[in-house]
Amino acid sequence: MRVLDLFSGIGGFSLGLERAGMETVAFCEYDEPCREVLRKHWPDIPIHEDVRNLDATQYRGSVGLVCGGYPCQPFSLAGKRQGEKDDRHLWPEFFRIIGECQPDWVLAENVAGHINMGLDQVLADLESEGYTTQPFVIPACAVDAP
């Protein structure tokens, strides 16, 4: 399966997905130091710089999975929890890209604070486009982290 990796960071999703037999066809990452890491490990994969400027129609019909961990700051218990009022609230851009690309699968990641602040909207958005949703909560202790 071919993957479009959004909010890519240093490629954690793609690393795991490629180990599962998938192929990353493009990244989208705003942070330049992270893009440097992506270029080092995936020198032949295109990197888009900003989801707000990404025209994902170019991937329609060629990508089976769109993945990403969109910014958590709007929902994090460690932050101000401004939700949609936070300029880092980029779920709408993620959702726009899903609509343009029309993948078979979507894999999205965020913090536990999102559960009672905005997750219902994310699930409703995906379901409005015909996706069946299944949220999972995976606490740090599930992987023996403190």
Residue type at position 39: R
Residue ranges with strand state E in 16-104? 23-28, 47-48, 65-68
Q: Helix, strand, or coil here: 5?
A: strand
Sign of the Cα pseudo-torsion (127, 7, 114, 13, in order): positive
* CA–CA gap between residue 145 and residue 93 (Å, rounded): 31
28, 67, 72, 101: the catalytic one is 72
Tokens of 145: 């982290």
To the query of whether residue 34 is one of the catalytic residues in this protein, the response is no
Active site residues: 72
